[in-house]
Amino acid sequence: MKNIQQYLTKFTPWKRSFFTGRTILFITIFAVVGFGALQIPVTQLVGSGAKFTVFDAFAPLTGAFIGSVPGVIAVLLMNFANFLFHGAQVQDIGTFIRFFPVLFAVLYFAKKSRLSLIVPLLAIVIFVAHPIGRSVWYFSLFWTIPIIAYFFRDRFLLARALGATFSAHAVGGASWIWAFALPAAAWNSLIPIVIAERLLFALGIAASYIALNNLLYALEQKQILKLGFHLDHKYLLPWKLA
């Protein structure tokens, strides 16, 4: 009984810290903004009817501001609301796969952890375990980027953003090859697309992070919004509010 009480004592502050009224408010705000971002398509996913959207550049930011778990919850809400908004239509298994890779981008961008190394390593193993994956093993080298970026993420925002977007790509790619078994030629044709697309997403994540840091700072300074979480002052622009 004593052990149970000790466990509950440890669990209760954790529960309260994640699910305060202010946290729920910001989960809702981020979910609404993310839902809007989901309506702006960028490109079609090869082999499926699913699409990449502006959401893929916005979603990873959520955990950096409101925490890993609330950020993941917000992103799940964005995706689920979008799924219902479009009539809950399941085009193929790609519809469900699209729910999960971005969650790993959220976790990567939110904080430095061993998971940031484990996820891309597992993705590489899973990809090359597939017969087609073995024939295009070099495609999985993209997923060494989150591993390399891990060691520079605290110094360079772009490294952090690249690590996040390629973490999502790793989970998606490892899932995609087993779900659709795209031929080797398709994976080869994707290489230049991935380079351009992921660089674009990384730049979008970094730019959005700086912009959102400054916007939230301005709103807090004007006493329009009380945040309840810390901003990254390293990326605040040298401007003064009247």
Low-confidence ranges of the chain (pLDDT < 70): 1-22, 38, 42-53, 86-92, 94-95, 239-242
Q: Residues 10-43: pLDDT tens digits?
A: 434 444 455 566 677 777 777 777 777 767 776 6
CATH number, domain at 159? 1.10.1760.20
- The one-letter amino acid code at 210 reads I
Average predicted confidence (pLDDT) for the chain: 82
Let me know if residue 157 belongs to a domain. yes
- The alpha carbon of residue 86 and the mean position of all alpha carbons in its chain are separated, in whole angstroms, by 22
Phi then psi for 43, rounded to 5 degrees?
Answer: -160, 160
First to last CA, the chain: 58
Let me know if residue 113 belongs to a domain. yes
Let me know if residue 241 belongs to a domain. no
Domain limits at 126? 2-235
Residue 48 has what pLDDT? 42
For the residues of 23-62, what is the DSSP string, one character each? HHHHHHHHHHHHHHHTTSEEEEPTTSS-EEETHHHHGGGH
Distance in angstroms (rounded) separating the CA atoms of residues 202 and 104:
14
Let me know if residue 95 belongs to a domain. yes
Residue 33 has what pLDDT? 75
- What is the model's pTM? 0.81
Let me know if residue 240 belongs to a domain. no
Phi-psi region of 56 (alpha: psi -120 to 50; beta: other; left: phi over 0): alpha
CA-closest candidate to residue 208, choices 34, 26, 39 = 34
Q: For the chain, what is the domain count?
A: 1
Distance in angstroms (rounded) separating the CA atoms of residues 159 and 140:
18
Let me know if residue 129 belongs to a domain. yes
Q: Which residues contact 36 (CB under 8 A, 6 or more apart)?
A: none
Residue 22 has what pLDDT? 67
